[in-house]
Each structure stands twice: as C-alpha cells, then as structure tokens.
Chains A and B, each alone.
Chain A
Amino acid sequence: MTEKQMEYVMSGDREKCTGCLICALECSFLYEGRFSPEASRIIINKTYENSITFTSDCTRCGVCADVCPFNALTKSL
C-alpha cells in the first residue's frame, strides 16, 4: 500500500493555523488539477478564526499535513 492510499485520522490546531491556505491549494491541485479553496477537501475559515474542517470528500490522505508550513495539521493512524 503506497503512502497516498493510507487513511489517517486528521486534526487541526487553529491556534497554529495562519490562514495561508497552502493545505487547501495543495489538495485542490492534487485532486482537481487547479488552485481553488472552494474545491478543496480541507476548509480554512478565517471568519471563525481559522477554523479547520475536512469535508465528506476528504480521503484522509494526509498530504495537507505534510505540506503545512506551521505544523497546524496532524495525521495519525
């Protein structure tokens, strides 16, 4: 099983989240081939102080946690 096919338990720390949206853009680029927070499976909502939610389409691949520059996301088995 490749790492990409693994399913992780995902969580986010809004105190560490800076709102950079790199996670959302990596997700949409990977799965939809374009940069679009609207099409991403991780939603960062600045109107609620960078709340972090995962949509029902999220496959829990953990790529967002790999790319977060601020260690705001964790993936665990």
Chain B
Amino acid sequence: MVKVTMYTTITCQYCILAKRYLEQKGIEFSEVDITHDLVKSDEIVKKTGQNRTPVFVVEKDGQESYLAGFDKAKLDEMLGLNS
C-alpha cells in the first residue's frame, strides 16, 4: 500500500504537471497547498531540508521517502513505476 502526499504552491507550474502525471499513471494522492500555510510550509521544509516544490512524500511499507522537485525518473522509482 503506497500513500502519496504532494506539497504544492498555487503558482507552481511543475506542481500542475506533476499532478497531471500522477493522474495519468492512476496514482491516488492527497495535496497540501502551502502557499498561505506557513506552518505546513516550515514543516515540509524541515522534513526535506529543501525549499523546493512540488514535494512528494511517499509512504511505503511503513517508510517515508521524499522527493523535492518534479523529476519523473526519480518519482517513478519511488513509486515502483516503469518509465
């Protein structure tokens, strides 16, 4: 069971493309918009150590992994997809 959460900002174009990509791949995900949420923004920056969106948090087999930025090849690897 894989749970995917995406952290996005409202003007982030790569976030839009990433959402479209996950939808095309049939991957369910939840989205957290951090544009106006300083608490969630600080939380994800602390977790990833990065100031980049989109951020993908993938929970798989009880483990959490993170990807900051829309890198299809790395995302496919995290999700176990063939690209």
Judge: A and B partners, yes or no.
Answer: no
